[in-house]
Amino acid sequence: MKMLWTCALVAALCAAAPGGSRLRARTDGSRFLNDNTKKFVVDGKSLPDISFDLGESYAGQLPISNKTDEKSKLYFWFFPTANEEHKEDKEVVIWLNGGPGCSSLLGFLQENGPAMWSAGRATPVQNPWSWHQLTNVVWVEQPVSVGFSEGEVTARDENEVAEQFLGFWRNLVDAFGLHDHKVFVAAESYGGFYGPYIASHMLDAADRRFFDLSGLIVYDGVMFDQKVQFDVPAARFAEQHYELMPLGDTARDQVQEVARRCGYDDFIDKHLVFPPAGPAPALAPGSRQEANGSIVAEPGCRVNEQMGLVISRASRQNPCFDVYRIQHQCPVASNVLPVDRPAEKQEPYFNREDVKKAINAPLGVNWTACVSSSVFATPDGQDGSQGHPSSDHELPNVIDKTQNVIIAQGNMDYIIPLNGILLGIQNMTWGGKLGFESAPTDPFFVPNFGVNLSQAELESGFSQAVPVGWGVQGTTHTERGLTLVVSASSGHMGPADSPAGAFRHLEKLLGRAKSLSDKEPFTLPQLRDVRQPEEPLGKGTVTIPCAKRGC
């Protein structure tokens, strides 16, 4: 139900914010504008360097608990949906980037937000695939100390990170009246820890008024044993993609010798099968247990050692080798949100004072895409949950209780290789069974949105500013409430590399698409009548399993 506001309240809002008359016209009547949220209003027409209207949104900080002396706060940017058909729907999506320690504003500006400012673009463009076109979305910078989030780092592990997030979320729900809303969590990369842990804690809280967790999607996530995810598939990945990673015979032989000596090849041959061969050994390949019970790596088989070897050899061939998307070549594109390659002297967009003022961010914070200090209060700065990946309990818990979990993976991602994800799935128990019983072969279909129109129509078409493809874009599979979807040409940042594909993922997560192989059009009103192909789709375009050349 829309709320009615008194003249006094509107006048106060207009007086408190620059461009008050514009803000009144844009937010008056919104069900999210109230005495508690008026301080968070963002003028979508006044964002520096953005030439278009972002629409209604709210940004700022909220504390991680209800303690009166709480000093730790998380920063958020909340966009009510622009979809008129779903304005009153009681649902909200939470977006989390990974790191650990990387800002979710990376996702906002370069993946699935209303403005797309990808690396190499001189200026931002309006993103037709923004997730807020489907539903309400909030991008949250967390844990404490990341981005514009401030306070003392006290969380020692993922359980404590999740508890702090739930405290923040309760405050956000109270402020914006999001009670009894279905909550969907979307996370990326190290978000394979964050997302499942937070989602599982929401379920365990058994309080649907605040935490009605209804689904989870993880993009290229760290969810399984890290040696199995990173090092075991490293050499075979280079073999599969030898045209993009031409190591040369000497380096190739060196990498393959490590894979043989550490037992990685044997592990893949035995466990990358459908149905699973059985539970994998508790001891990861290339490890041994000492007499005192401690587990140590065999020489040359430490975590990340094999992956690092491949990266060093690939970088000799391609100095701009990108572990996040192996197709990338030199030169490195300039980036307003530099992460791993800060050679450009340009100040990060979100660290500009005019931007901070526009989005209610603390002026005294030096914003960086990823913080250099640890986000965990442990002696070594490491996540205390490192030995407890989310696949041990949290991820299966969310699958079993929601029957609505998507693992989305980019086939061109080297930092999180596909076969590491598959090995993890085949050693995870959910729904009373181990792994997938059948190998994924179904086509992942991205609906046509009008790109087969005439050139004149195409130039003014739906996705002109953010060109993307459609059709069979990968492979998908669903069993017992878990969907795997692999995008053939995507790397680590799925919504950035395949915006339309990620849009379809979200439609599936929200229950608006029957399956990821369905040929029904996109659900947006302007795309609902676009004609789809009548011929059979065939199989998916990513072969699973595959751990060699030519498969």
pLDDT in tens, 398-409: 999 999 999 999
Q: What is the mean pLDDT of residues 418-433?
A: 98
Q: Does the annotation count 287 as an active-site position?
A: no
pLDDT in tens, 148-207: 999 999 999 999 999 999 999 999 999 999 999 999 999 999 999 999 999 999 999 999
Strands 212-219 and 73-79: unpaired
Query: What residue spans define the domains of the chain?
Result: 29-225+310-453+465-550
**Alpha carbons 429 and 158: distance in angstroms, whole number:** 21
Q: What is the mean pLDDT of residues 382-408?
A: 95
Q: Does the annotation count 517 as an active-site position?
A: no
pLDDT in tens, 525-550: 999 999 999 999 999 999 999 998 88
pLDDT of residue 456: 52
Identify the CA nearest to 189 among candidates 92, 326, 96.
Answer: 96
pLDDT above 80 for 344: no
Q: What is the mean pLDDT of residues 230-247?
A: 92
pLDDT above 60 for 351: yes
Contacts of 201 (CB under 8 A, 6+ apart): 159, 162, 163, 165, 166
Q: What is the mean pLDDT of residues 422-436?
A: 99
Q: Is residue 421 within 8 Å of residue 462, measured between CB atoms?
A: no
pLDDT in tens, 248-277: 899 999 999 999 999 999 999 999 999 999
pLDDT in tens, 470-503: 999 999 999 999 999 999 999 999 999 999 999 9
Q: Which of 13-22, 73-82, 149-158, 444-453 comes out lowest in average pLDDT?
A: 13-22
Tell me which of 492, 497, 505, 517 is the catalytic residue: 492
pTM for the full predicted model: 0.92
Tell me which of 189, 214, 390, 463 is the catalytic residue: 189
CA dihedral in degrees (170, 173, 178, 184; nearest 10)? -60
Q: Which of 223-227, 311-315, 328-332, 460-464 comes out lowest in average pLDDT?
A: 460-464
Position with higher pLDDT, 8 vs 210: 210
Mean pLDDT of the chain: 91
Q: Does the annotation count 413 as an active-site position?
A: yes
Tell me which of 212, 231, 322, 413 is the catalytic residue: 413
Q: What is the CATH number of domain 29-225+310-453+465-550?
A: 3.40.50.1820
Contacts of 353 (CB under 8 A, 6+ apart): 363
